[in-house]
A and B are shown apart, each in its own frame.
Chain A
Amino acid sequence: MVEVPLDELNLQDSEFISAPTVASTLYQCATAVTVVGFIPHADIDVQIDGADVITGAPGGFPMPDGVTLHLPSALTVGQVVLARQKFGGLTSNWSPPVTVRDHAADYPTGPPRPQIDPAPVYKCGSRTGVNNLLRGCEVWITADGVVVGRIKGAIQHQGVNVGPDYGLNQKVRAWAQMCMDPSPPSQQYITQNPPIPLPAPAVEDVYDGGEQITISGLVNGARFQVSRNGIDLGTGRTWGKMHTIDLSPPFAAGETLSVIQSMCPSDGPSPAGTGTVQPCSALPAPGVAPIQEGDIKITLTSFVSDARIKVFVNAIKAGDSGGPIVMLDRAIHRGDTIHVIQIVGTCTGQYAQELKVRCVDPPATYDPSALDLYPVGNVEYDGGTVTILGSTYHVKGTVYYPAEDDGDSQPFNERVRNHGPIPIVFMAHGNHKTSDPSHLGYDYFQIALARMGIIAVSVFSNEANGQAGGPPNIITRAQLIISSIAHFQNLNSGGDRLFGDRIDFSRVGLMGHSRGGEAVVVVPEIISLAGVTIKCAISLAPTNFGASWGRPTGYAFLTILPAMDGDVVDNNGAVFYDQAMPDPLKCQIYANHTNHNYFNRQWTNDDTRGELPIMARQDHERVLSAYGCAFYRNQLLGHNTSGFLLYKELPAGVLTANVHLSFAISEAAMTLDNFEDGNWIGTNSVGQPNTQLGGLTADEYPFSQGPFGRFNDSFFGNTIGMVTRSYETSGTFRWQLADPISLTDREVWIRCADVYDGIRAPATATGFQLGIESTTGNITWVDSDEVGGLPIPFDRRLHDLKRFAIDKTKTMLKTLRFSAHCLQMGHEEELIQAILVRMNASYPRPLAFDDLQII
């Protein structure tokens, strides 16, 4: 992505304007619809089931919330809602249709729990933000049980003015209902004294021609007063942090803006924050999120709130609307050049954002750990003692569950109970000092699961901690997990006040960290409890003392491998991943800049001793929470979240540039070569010949530590793969298919890595091309950089040599997805007869490959 001077481009405008977007999801009983993504000041039409219900409504500005238009009657299930915009004599197409749903179908236990956002709330606060709402619902706020504000037809994140202002130490909660169906109450907040002195607000950049300003640095609930060129324009209320307001007439360069905020009158106002309107020449190019083959819209990451956005595909206008999402008039394709500009009033930015469309460049969609449906109760459980290998251990730990309200021993959520048993996850920590309550270290993950409807247990294993080790210690930990499962079975069947008849033991998940990560691989091998089905397991930074058979089978498997693990330096989970069956999927997350300990809040020491650049603790937690919740939601709740594990979408709020995924699913159409057939490099897994061309040499090698015949010592899994070497950019490896097949609607997946040479990590990344050969001899190539690329081996050499004298920098394979849409461009009707890889990099290095599949 690069900013290009507009006058160097010959962009062709047209009379096309984009369709806006109807904000979804729409639910029955909503009395309003919200339309976003339109040109500032456009008129909006809304159609329901083909009938015009709103015509020419002033849209105002598309940011921050679009325009909410009230309907003549409440929506009903199955209605189809469309919107279009009119601007400057032009009319857009109708938006993609949105079908009205029954919220009870999506949320059978009631609307999601409102969130007071931001929090906390303060004495003298006059407005509160409430998030996590169903569009069109009714939301209200209580202070000490008295309603102080209410909105009907709310948007997802709704500001609610409260009156009177909050006092000190009031108990504030938000509530919502949809179709008279009430949500649980929000978390309760006690009002605090506001910060004194109040900080000066800041005025974000404003440009000549603009009509909106965004103010930051606001205190939750504050009143703010805006002055323009010294003239008081009035007072507004805010839920704090940032606030966008509309002003007219349009700004001229050099105008001055000033904002003060106040809370309690007796405390006085803040200092003034000021800003000066910048000239048109300062207007930057907008920021754009990655785009990939087949996209029909672009998403902006930074832009002026009241800007008109124009998008050009190969210099021809294809989109014209407001942010943050601009619908295009066509699907875009690999190799297309995109230019995006923004226009504020009469000011056109002098730079365009230029980017190339990649084959696979998935968008950051949402945070899969953010599903917040219920309050969360927690309790410590005590299941007595158990004797394991001659020693006695306590069966105890903590459990978090959907509850009527937050806190210790709260009643189980009534509506969840009435809806039926829910899944349960058991977590197990690893070895650490016995003085630390390690089982408390995953509370953040337990809470995230409980609030989405999964009971989350963390097993106390401290009596297995300390100086013991080896396989019996892992077996002990596995038995402790099983003993806790048995305990909860007893609670479930024994009419327990909290858990009686609440748990679905046909949907059991496991999560283990460190030695616990090895124990959860053992549990499915030894568990004999009737009625328990292990559906999935997360093995986080596991050891491998050989306590299991090492082949996770019969359940979905996810391992998370910290690239900077300072303890389990071999990343032994790679062994488990390689041997796991995708039942129905398996996934490996190799996370750069993560260490062993920071996933557990009780493990405070950095196991790399500060010798490697690790990410912050909360970013470690985000990796586990986001990917872990996506995994459990998919496997235990049936949610459509597997895309996060298959590199089809990225979780918001995670440092995904550090995350490298391997994955496989049971639904693969064909494994063309996994190199494990014992038929050598010349024959592939479908019994057809492989060919080495153009000076390339390749052979099969054990991708593991120690075995005879390994390529080098940088492989830490347990599989056999291929390493190619080529000193020519024409070096090619070709796999022949048994029968020609169509690739339409399919993908080609291949695991691959830049082989670490054991001496130094390279400074720059390398790559390759993957091609498909049609029966007519056409070959279409797609570069690995266009589907995510090959990462440079993660360099940990200096740390390792200092600590234990052996370099553990790894050749760690990742899975690349090559979309058929890219591979087939222009040849969709042709069948393919071979798949090829070509070592086209300028600085070719040995590359590792495994698991070539057609999906």
Chain B
Amino acid sequence: MTMSADSGKIEEKEKGEEEDIWRMPMILGIEVIHVHYIHPVPYFIKSKQIEIVEGIEFLVKTSEDFPVRALSPALFVGDFPVLDVNRIGENLYRFFVPAPEIDRLKTSAPISIGWAGLSAGKVTTEYRFQVQREESRQ
């Protein structure tokens, strides 16, 4: 009698060689909201914790998700980089500028999308900076 042996292939771990981490989604829409916090919320500027009562929120609709990588996507308002970003839904991202830096956003400045810390790979969008609505939050 010979011992039976199971057989089969291993499921190779997805290597991701094909993924291009420089792939930049198209920007399909940007909504700009001036958010006022009724209760101050904690925030960090550099590594110093502060409390903020307002900020500018950019809700950015994209054609696809950004690739997951070390560098994060950045929104550029003129030359000012908006680095704080969270994915809040499918192809939907929230970029945020806290109160101390709001003044650096110039009305009508062109908005482009790129990578945090890099001037490379920046793509200009058809959008310009303009607050579209005010909103108060708890």
Real complex partners, A and B? Answer: yes
Chain A interface residues (CB < 8 Å from chain B): 389-390, 430-434, 465-473, 475, 478, 514-515, 522, 525-526, 541, 543-549, 566-570, 572, 596, 604-607, 609-610, 705-706, 800, 803-806, 808
B86: Cβ under 8 A from any A Cβ: yes
- Minimum Cβ distance to chain A for residue B97 (Å): 10
A596 in contact with B70 (CB, 8 Å):
yes
A543 in contact with B71 (CB, 8 Å):
yes
Q: Which of B2-10, B13-21, B103-111 contacts A (4 or more CB under 8 A)?
A: B13-21
User: Most B CB atoms within 10 A — which of A472, A547, A572?
Assistant: A472
A431 in contact with B20 (CB, 8 Å):
no
Task: Sample 7 A-B pairs with CB under 8 A, ordered by A number.
Answer: A431-B69, A467-B86, A522-B47, A543-B71, A549-B47, A567-B71, A803-B20
B47 in contact with A515 (CB, 8 Å):
no
* Contacting residues, chain B, for A808 (C-beta < 8 A): 120
* Contacting residues, chain A, for B17 (C-beta < 8 A): 605-606, 609-610
- Minimum Cβ distance to chain B for residue A647 (Å): 29
* Residue interface mask B53-86, A partner, CB < 8 A = 1: 0000000000001101111111000000001111
- Minimum Cβ distance to chain A for residue B102 (Å): 16
A471 in contact with B83 (CB, 8 Å):
yes
- Minimum Cβ distance to chain A for residue B64 (Å): 12
Among candidates B16, B66, B70, residue contacting A604 with C-beta atoms closer than 8 Å: B16
Report the separation of the CA atoms of residues A545 and B121 in the bound assembly, to the nearest whole angstrom.
16
- Given known A548-B47, A606-B17, contact A570–B118 (CB-CB < 8 A): yes
From 10 to 47 in chain B, residues with beta carbon under 8 angstroms from any chain A beta carbon are: 13, 15-17, 19-22, 41-44, 46-47
Among candidates B15, B86, B117, B121, residue contacting A543 with C-beta atoms closer than 8 Å: B117
A543 in contact with B87 (CB, 8 Å):
no
Report the separation of the CA atoms of residues A547 and B72 in the bound assembly, to the nearest whole angstrom.
13
B47 in contact with A475 (CB, 8 Å):
yes
* Residue interface mask B94-132, A partner, CB < 8 A = 1: 000000000000000000000011111100000000000
B116 in contact with A470 (CB, 8 Å):
yes
- Given known A543-B71, A545-B72, A569-B118, contact A469–B85 (CB-CB < 8 A): yes
Nearest to A433 among chain B residues (CB) is B68
**B-side interface residues, number (CB < 8 Å):** 36
Among candidates A390, A432, A607, residue contacting B41 with C-beta atoms closer than 8 Å: A390
Report the separation of the CA atoms of residues A448 and B93 in the bound assembly, to the nearest whole angstrom.
41
* Contacting residues, chain A, for B120 (C-beta < 8 A): 569, 800, 804-806, 808
* Contacting residues, chain B, for A475 (C-beta < 8 A): 44, 47
Report the separation of the CA atoms of residues A572 and B70 in the bound assembly, to the nearest whole angstrom.
12
- Given known A545-B72, A605-B16, A806-B119, contact A468–B46 (CB-CB < 8 A): no
* Contacting residues, chain B, for A706 (C-beta < 8 A): 119
Nearest to A431 among chain B residues (CB) is B70
Report the separation of the CA atoms of residues A529 and B22 in the bound assembly, to the nearest whole angstrom.
39
Nearest to B72 among chain A residues (CB) is A469
Nearest to A476 among chain B residues (CB) is B44
Among candidates B72, B86, B118, residue contacting A431 with C-beta atoms closer than 8 Å: B72
User: Most B CB atoms within 10 A — which of A390, A514, A548, A604?
Assistant: A604
Nearest to B24 among chain A residues (CB) is A804
- Minimum Cβ distance to chain A for residue B56 (Å): 14
B121 in contact with A470 (CB, 8 Å):
no
A389 in contact with B70 (CB, 8 Å):
no
B70 in contact with A515 (CB, 8 Å):
yes
* Contacting residues, chain A, for B121 (C-beta < 8 A): 803-806
- Given known A549-B47, A806-B119, contact A466–B68 (CB-CB < 8 A): yes
- Given known A546-B83, A547-B44, contact A467–B70 (CB-CB < 8 A): no
User: Most B CB atoms within 10 A — which of A431, A467, A572, A800?
Assistant: A467
A548 in contact with B46 (CB, 8 Å):
yes
- Given known A469-B72, A567-B21, contact A545–B116 (CB-CB < 8 A): yes
- Minimum Cβ distance to chain A for residue B71 (Å): 6
Report the separation of the CA atoms of residues A469 and B87 in the bound assembly, to the nearest whole angstrom.
9
- Minimum Cβ distance to chain A for residue B130 (Å): 22
- Minimum Cβ distance to chain A for residue B124 (Å): 14
Chain B interface residues (CB < 8 Å from chain A): 13, 15-17, 19-22, 41-44, 46-47, 49, 65-66, 68-74, 83-87, 93, 116-121
- Minimum Cβ distance to chain A for residue B15 (Å): 5
Among candidates B15, B43, B83, residue contacting A469 with C-beta atoms closer than 8 Å: B83
Interface of B is mostly: loop
| In the A-B complex, the 7 residue pairs with the closest CB atoms | A469-B72, A467-B87, A470-B83, A605-B16, A806-B120, A470-B84, A804-B121
- Minimum Cβ distance to chain B for residue A580 (Å): 15
Among candidates A467, A541, A803, residue contacting B68 with C-beta atoms closer than 8 Å: A467
B46 in contact with A432 (CB, 8 Å):
no
Nearest to B94 among chain A residues (CB) is A468
Report the separation of the CA atoms of residues A675 and B69 in the bound assembly, to the nearest whole angstrom.
36
Report the separation of the CA atoms of residues A567 and B120 in the bound assembly, to the nearest whole angstrom.
12
Report the separation of the CA atoms of residues A390 and B70 in the bound assembly, to the nearest whole angstrom.
23
- Minimum Cβ distance to chain B for residue A437 (Å): 11
- Minimum Cβ distance to chain B for residue A462 (Å): 11
- Given known A432-B68, A804-B22, contact A526–B84 (CB-CB < 8 A): no
Report the separation of the CA atoms of residues A803 and B46 in the bound assembly, to the nearest whole angstrom.
30
* Contacting residues, chain A, for B15 (C-beta < 8 A): 604-605
User: Most B CB atoms within 10 A — which of A541, A544, A803?
Assistant: A803
A468 in contact with B70 (CB, 8 Å):
no
Report the separation of the CA atoms of residues A769 and B118 in the bound assembly, to the nearest whole angstrom.
36
Report the separation of the CA atoms of residues A543 and B41 in the bound assembly, to the nearest whole angstrom.
26
- Given known A433-B68, A609-B17, contact A469–B73 (CB-CB < 8 A): yes
Report the separation of the CA atoms of residues A800 and B119 in the bound assembly, to the nearest whole angstrom.
13
Nearest to B49 among chain A residues (CB) is A526
- Given known A605-B16, A804-B120, contact A568–B44 (CB-CB < 8 A): no
Report the separation of the CA atoms of residues A472 and B71 in the bound assembly, to the nearest whole angstrom.
13
Report the separation of the CA atoms of residues A804 and B65 in the bound assembly, to the nearest whole angstrom.
18
- Given known A467-B66, A470-B116, contact A604–B46 (CB-CB < 8 A): no
B44 in contact with A473 (CB, 8 Å):
no
* Contacting residues, chain A, for B42 (C-beta < 8 A): 389-390
Report the separation of the CA atoms of residues A430 and B49 in the bound assembly, to the nearest whole angstrom.
22
* Contacting residues, chain B, for A570 (C-beta < 8 A): 117-118
* Contacting residues, chain A, for B74 (C-beta < 8 A): 469-470
A609 in contact with B20 (CB, 8 Å):
yes
Report the separation of the CA atoms of residues A475 and B74 in the bound assembly, to the nearest whole angstrom.
17
User: Most A CB atoms within 10 A — which of B19, B69, B84, B120?
Assistant: B69
Given A604-B13, A806-B121, 7 additional A-B pairs, CB 8 A:
A467-B65, A525-B46, A545-B72, A545-B116, A548-B46, A549-B46, A804-B22
Report the separation of the CA atoms of residues A515 and B118 in the bound assembly, to the nearest whole angstrom.
15
A567 in contact with B46 (CB, 8 Å):
no
* Contacting residues, chain A, for B19 (C-beta < 8 A): 605
- Minimum Cβ distance to chain A for residue B61 (Å): 14
Nearest to A468 among chain B residues (CB) is B86
* Contacting residues, chain A, for B119 (C-beta < 8 A): 705-706, 806
- Given known A471-B44, A471-B84, contact A465–B72 (CB-CB < 8 A): no
* Contacting residues, chain B, for A469 (C-beta < 8 A): 71-74, 83-86, 116
A543 in contact with B116 (CB, 8 Å):
yes
Report the separation of the CA atoms of residues A650 and B41 in the bound assembly, to the nearest whole angstrom.
51
Among candidates A549, A567, A610, residue contacting B69 with C-beta atoms closer than 8 Å: A567
Report the separation of the CA atoms of residues A792 and B21 in the bound assembly, to the nearest whole angstrom.
28
Report the separation of the CA atoms of residues A467 and B71 in the bound assembly, to the nearest whole angstrom.
10
B117 in contact with A544 (CB, 8 Å):
yes
Report the separation of the CA atoms of residues A570 and B70 in the bound assembly, to the nearest whole angstrom.
12
B117 in contact with A803 (CB, 8 Å):
no
Nearest to A548 among chain B residues (CB) is B47
- Minimum Cβ distance to chain B for residue A396 (Å): 21
Report the separation of the CA atoms of residues A525 and B46 in the bound assembly, to the nearest whole angstrom.
10
* Contacting residues, chain A, for B21 (C-beta < 8 A): 566-567, 607
- Minimum Cβ distance to chain A for residue B42 (Å): 6
